[in-house]
Structure 1
Amino acid sequence: MIHNDLYRPSEYRGAPSQAIDDAWDKLWMVPLRIDDQDLGRLHLTSHKNWSRIPDEMGGGFRGYPIVFHQLHCLNTLRKASYREHYQNDKLFKDPPSVSRAHQDHCIEMIRQQLMCSAEMVPTLTFESDGHTLPDFNAVQVCRNFDRLKAWTEANVIHGGGNWDLPANIAEA
């Protein structure tokens, strides 16, 4: 069930706060090892200059489930909607044209993903005080995101530097 009443509280929703920022930060991507033989299964070739993991760390290629990039994009747009609060955030330190391009990239990525997964569960409406209102709660079969996240963290690349879990996830 997706619970999304207009005013329903959520740890990810509301005016900026440290608690909300922390909740979003814990959704960040983690680096995974993609083995050489997995490239074909992903319909990729070795002709691109993919980020290689050093052989002493097990080899392969660095990647992450795309859902984490999509969540990063959604968080970027969330922060952009509270720009006055996040004006000093590293996301907005780039020149305005680069920041705008990043936001447009995020909008396009989320649009494509929504159209790709195109849920057909109907949103019904109901009558309340003379108004017709949508009921945004929907019964859907969802992936178990906690299991996906746990699997990702269990398969993270370790080796120090930018190969490890981001600090906000490692400290969680």
Structure 2
Amino acid sequence: MKYSRLEEYINNENEESLHEKEPPQTKQQERRRSRIWDVTLLSALPWILNILFASVLLFLFLSPSYSGPSGSYETEFGTDMTLPTKVGLKRVRFTGSPHFFDNGTAWRTPVDSNAPWPENRRYFGEPSREIDWAWHDLIGDRYFSVSEEEAKKAWGDKYVMYRDPYRGGYTAGLDMFHALHCLNALRKALGQDYYPYTDIHGQVHLEHCLDLLRQEIQCYGSTTLIPQKHFDGLEHPYIDSDQVHTCRDFSTLREFTTERGEGGRLYVPREEWDDKI
């Protein structure tokens, strides 16, 4: 085997007249070093990939401004209206989950009047002016004037079909307030002795509201875990929905809507249409 390598070395020497030939042992050393490097690289590759993967995850975790191609809950999604100020996130413990006495009778914790608005008001119960005013402060004056630029961004080429023929310009509101309006309509439907029935808020409207709320809940898909717990007055577990959730700051959205109204500092003047009704 040694003689074969020597013969190969002598034959190749004539073909490489322009370069000085290295001794055979040097090539063997290079091949050995190359094999060692290949083995080392292959052995280290999983660790290198793990480090790179962990670095990417750490970057995403530590970067609150990161958002995917569709946007993010904290910044805004591509389908959201762009607001002049960032809507912060808040950790909020929900309230209102039923409790049970030992005899099985259900009860709910009273509203905490010292809690920050809007959680310091009653929104459900026996119909009353107090509850009606609470809902008015929550969702009143929810529609505002929209600029043509905002209309194009929101509705694309079909934006012209949303011209307001009565007041001029375009009129719209944030979807959240429409969903709350629907919830309030369902509340009123439970107290028809107190709230007069109207055709426009009849069965079709109620079914629309139910279906809208179904889609809203499915769309935002909260993954906060809701546990079941034991109550002595029940023969089976019952949920405890009073858990901490991460929410957009409602007060910021309410303030923005108010300021977009006529007379507000963010009001958009309406464009007059020739075919205004």
User: By the TM > 0.5 criterion, same fold?
Assistant: yes
Please identify the structure whose Cα radius of gyration is greater.
Answer: 2
Of 158, 178, 184, the residue aligned with 1:69 is 178
CA distance in 2, matches of 1:31, 1:128: 44
Check whether the contact 2:141–2:261 (CA below 8 A) recurs between aligned residues.
Answer: no
Q: How does 1:35-114 map to 2 (within 5 A)?
A: 35-44=147-156, 45-51=158-164, 53-54=167-168, 60-86=169-195, 88=196, 92-94=197-199, 99-114=202-217
TM-score by length of 2: 0.49
Aligned residue for 1:157, secondary structure, equals coil
Deviation at 1:41, TM superposition (A): 2.1
Of 135, 138, 144, the residue aligned with 2:249 is 144
Aligned residue for 1:142, secondary structure, equals strand
CA distance in 1, matches of 2:236, 2:162: 56
- Aligned match of 2:227: 124
Pair 1:61–1:152, CA change in 2 (3 A) = same
CA distance in 2, matches of 1:5, 1:49: 41
Deviation at 1:85, TM superposition (A): 2.2
Deviation at 1:49, TM superposition (A): 4.1
CA distance in 1, matches of 2:143, 2:231: 48
CA distance in 1, matches of 2:133, 2:246: 27
CA distance in 2, matches of 1:49, 1:68: 19
Q: What amino acid sits opposite 1:9 in the alignment?
A: P
Q: Which residues of structure 2 form unaligned runs of 5+?
A: 1-92, 99-107, 112-121, 264-277
Greater length-normalized contact order (CA 8 Å, ≥ 6 residues apart): 1
Aligned residue for 1:47, secondary structure, equals helix
- Aligned match of 2:59: none
Check whether the contact 1:34–1:61 (CA below 8 A) recurs between aligned residues.
Answer: yes
Aligned residue for 1:140, secondary structure, equals strand
TM-score by length of 1: 0.76
CA distance in 2, matches of 1:67, 1:155: 15
Runs of 4+ aligned residues of structure 1 deviating over 6 Å after TM superposition are none
Aligned residue for 2:246, secondary structure, equals coil
Q: CA RMSD in A?
A: 2.2
Deviation at 1:9, TM superposition (A): 2.9
CA distance in 2, matches of 1:47, 1:16: 41
Deviation at 1:93, TM superposition (A): 2.4
Q: What amino acid sits opposite 2:160 in the alignment?
A: H
Pair 1:43–1:49, CA change in 2 (3 A) = closer
